[in-house]
C-alpha cells in the first residue's frame, strides 16, 4: 500500500487583549448584547475612516518578540476583498504585501522547532448566528476586533503535532499577555492546511475555525484518512475549505478554496505606513516574560519537579509567577509545587469561597510559604493547615494568627495529647493488643482515633511515638 506523508501547517488567529477595537473606539468586550458594540467604522458605513489602535500594535510587537520574529521596518495595511454577511465593508483590512513579522519559531516537547512563515495584524469579522428556521443573523460586536494571525510553515507531520503546536503557540501568547486565548469564547481560533505527499503533494485542503485542541487532533486524523483513501483509489483530492462536525466526527465541504487572486488585494489608502521605531520595539520585547518552554526545562532540571507538577504550574502565567514568588520565601520547591497543584487548586472547587483562579486569591505568596513552613515543622498537621488555607481565602490574616485563633496548633506532647492517646488505647483494645503482638499496621487504627478526637490537631509523629511508649509501659 502506498504510504502518504502528511504536510500540515497552522493559521492561528488570536484576538488581542485591547480595550477597544482595531480601527475605532468601540469596546473590545465579550458577552455584550448583540450589536451594542458597533459604530459607523466597524459596521462599514460610507465615509467612516479607520484610526489605528496603538495598543494593538504594541501587543503584536510583543508577540513577535516572544516568537523571535524578524520585524518589518514599518506597518502597512491592505484590503482583502470578499463578501460574506459577516464583513460589512465588503473587504477586510489586513496585511498582505508586508507582514509585521517573518521567521520565529515554536518549540515542541520533543525539541522539534516549527518555523513561523509570518505574523500579521488584521481586523476580525462579525459573528454569524444561525437560527432554527435557517435564517442568518449578524452580530457586529466582533467586527473590527484586533486579530494577530500567526502562520506556521507546513512542517507538521501528524495530528498530535498539530494539536501540540497549537497548544504551544497558545501558551506563548497567554504568557506574553497578548490575548486571553479562550477557545470556547472564540478569542483563539485555528485553521489547518493539510495535504498528503508521496511523489508529489496533493491539493491543499483547509480545515476552518477549529476551536479546541481535541477538534484539531480529531479533524486532522480524519482528513489524513479521507485523503489517503481518495489517493489510494486513484481519485484526486479537491482543493477546498472544509469544516469539522464534532457530532458526526467527520469533515464536510464548505466551499471551493479561494486563491490569492480571488481576494483582489489593494493597498489600504486610508492608513499610511507606520514606522516601527527601535525604542518601541525594545519596550515591547521587555514585556515578554520567561516563556513556558524554558521554564519547563528549569523546573525539571534545576528544581527537580516531575512533569505532572510542572504542567499544573504552567497552566497560566499567574500560576507560574505565584509559584516562583512563594519559592523566594520557602525552602522546598517540591513541597511548594505540591501545595499549589493540589491544595490551592482544590480551593477553586469550593463554591462558598468564590475563588476561581490563582489571580483571585486574597493571600500572598509569602503567606503560603509561611503556612507550608508551619506544616513542615510540625506546628500544624496537614489537615489543620488545609483549614487555615481556606480561612486565608476568607480573611487576609497571617497563617500563624489564624492557626492560633482557630485552635488548630499541633499537639506535640503534654497532658492533653497523653490523655487522647490513653483514651484511644482503652477504646480500641483489639488494635492495642495487635500492636503489642507485633502487628505494626494496627497502630494506624489508634493514630487515626487520636487524630479524629483532636480534630486533626495532634502531630501524627508524636502520637505514634507516645502510643508506643504507653503500650510498652503497660503490664
- pLDDT, average across residues 256-268: 82
pLDDT tens profile 146-169: 999 999 999 999 999 999 999 999
- Using the structure block, give the residue that is written with the C-alpha cell 483563539: 188
* Of the candidates 9, 16, 10, the residue with the CA atom closest to the CA atom of residue 284: 16
pLDDT tens profile 355-389: 999 999 999 999 999 999 998 887 888 888 999 99
Distance CA(55)–CA(45), nearest Å, equals: 24
* Of the candidates 465, 437, 457, the residue with the CA atom closest to the CA atom of residue 446: 465
- Using the structure block, give the residue that is written with the C-alpha cell 505532572: 308
Name 458's bridge partners.
Answer: 411
Q: How much of the chain exceeds pLDDT 90, in percent?
A: 72
pLDDT tens profile 108-121: 999 999 999 999 99
- pLDDT, average across residues 266-281: 95
Task: Decide if pLDDT at 178 tops 60.
Answer: yes
Determine the pLDDT at residue 93.
Answer: 97
Distance CA(413)–CA(423), nearest Å, equals: 15
Determine the pLDDT at residue 296.
Answer: 96
Determine the pLDDT at residue 62.
Answer: 98
Distance CA(408)–CA(402), nearest Å, equals: 8
Q: How many CB atoms lie within 10 A of CB 419?
A: 11
Cell of residue 412, nine digits: 506535640
Distance from the first to the final alpha carbon of the chain: 82
Given a contact cutoff of 8 angstroms between Cβ atoms, the answer to whether 333 and 303 are in contact is yes
Given a contact cutoff of 8 angstroms between Cβ atoms, the answer to whether 121 and 62 are in contact is no
- pLDDT, average across residues 261-277: 92
Q: Which domains does the chain have, with CATH numbers?
A: 5-280 (no CATH), 290-405 (no CATH), 414-473 (1.10.10.410)
Comparing 41-50, 75-84, 179-188, 409-418, which segment has the lowest mean pLDDT?
409-418
- pLDDT, average across residues 206-223: 95
Q: How confident is the model at residue 475 (pLDDT cuts 50, 70, 90)?
A: low
- pLDDT, average across residues 401-424: 83
Amino acid at each position: 500500500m502506498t504510504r502518504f506523508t502528511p504536510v500540515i501547517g497552522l493559521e492561528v488567529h488570536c484576538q488581542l487583549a485591547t480595550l477597544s477595537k482595531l480601527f475605532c473606539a468601540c469596546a473590545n468586550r465579550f458577552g455584550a448584547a448583540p450589536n451594542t458594540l458597533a459604530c459607523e467604522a466597524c459596521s462599514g458605513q460610507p465615509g467612516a475612516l479607520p484610526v489605528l489602535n496603538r495598543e494593538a500594535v504594541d501587543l503584536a510587537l510583543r508577540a513577535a518578540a516572544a516568537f523571535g520574529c524578524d520585524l518589518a521596518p514599518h506597518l502597512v495595511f491592505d484590503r482583502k476583498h470578499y463578501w460574506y454577511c459577516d464583513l460589512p465593508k465588503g473587504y477586510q483590512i489586513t496585511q498582505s504585501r508586508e507582514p509585521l513579522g517573518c521567521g520565529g519559531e515554536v518549540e515542541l516537547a520533543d525539541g522539534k522547532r516549527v518555523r513561523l512563515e509570518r505574523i500579521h495584524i488584521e481586523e476580525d469579522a462579525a459573528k454569524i448566528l444561525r437560527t432554527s428556521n435557517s435564517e442568518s443573523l449578524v452580530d457586529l460586536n466582533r467586527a473590527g476586533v484586533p486579530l494577530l494571525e500567526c502562520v506556521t510553515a507546513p512542517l507538521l507531520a501528524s495530528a498530535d503535532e498539530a494539536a501540540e503546536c497549537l497548544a504551544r503557540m497558545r501558551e506563548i501568547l497567554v504568557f506574553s499577555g497578548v490575548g486571553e486565548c479562550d477557545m470556547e469564547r472564540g478569542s483563539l481560533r485555528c485553521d489547518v492546511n493539510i495535504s498528503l505527499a508521496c511523489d508529489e503533494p496533493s491539493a491543499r485542503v483547509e480545515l476552518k475555525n477549529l476551536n479546541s485542541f481535541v477538534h484539531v487532533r480529531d479533524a486532522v486524523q480524519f482528513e489524513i484518512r479521507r485523503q489517503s483513501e481518495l489517493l489510494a483509489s486513484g481519485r484526486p483530492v479537491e482543493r477546498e475549505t472544509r469544516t469539522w462536525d464534532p457530532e458526526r466526527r467527520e469533515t464536510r465541504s464548505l466551499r471551493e478554496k479561494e486563491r490569492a487572486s480571488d481576494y483582489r488585494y489593494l493597498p489600504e489608502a486610508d492608513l499610511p505606513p507606520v514606522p516601527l521605531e527601535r525604542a518601541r520595539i525594545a519596550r515591547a520585547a521587555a514585556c515578554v516574560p520567561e516563556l513556558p518552554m524554558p521554564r519547563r526545562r528549569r523546573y525539571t532540571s534545576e528544581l527537580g519537579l516531575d512533569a505532572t507538577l510542572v504542567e499544573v504550574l504552567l497552566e497560566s502565567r499567574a500560576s507560574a509567577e505565584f509559584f516562583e514568588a512563594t519559592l523566594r520565601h520557602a525552602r522546598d520547591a517540591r513541597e511548594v509545587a505540591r501545595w499549589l497543584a493540589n491544595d490551592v487548586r482544590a480551593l477553586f472547587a469550593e463554591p462558598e469561597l468564590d475563588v476561581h483562579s490563582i489571580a483571585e486569591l486574597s493571600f500572598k505568596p509569602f503567606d503560603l510559604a509561611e503556612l507550608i513552613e508551619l506544616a513542615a515543622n510540625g506546628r500544624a498537621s496537614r489537615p489543620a493547615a488545609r483549614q487555615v488555607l481556606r480561612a486565608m481565602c476568607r480573611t487576609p490574616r497571617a497563617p500563624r494568627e489564624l492557626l492560633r485563633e482557630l485552635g488548630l496548633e499541633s499537639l506535640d506532647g503534654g497532658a492533653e495529647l497523653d490523655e487522647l492517646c490513653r483514651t484511644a488505647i482503652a477504646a480500641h483494645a483489639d488494635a492495642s493488643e495487635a500492636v503489642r503482638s507485633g502487628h505494626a499496621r494496627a497502630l494506624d487504627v489508634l493514630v487515626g482515633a487520636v487524630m479524629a478526637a483532636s480534630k486533626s490537631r495532634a502531630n501524627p509523629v508524636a502520637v505514634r511515638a507516645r502510643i508506643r511508649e504507653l503500650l510498652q509501659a503497660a503490664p
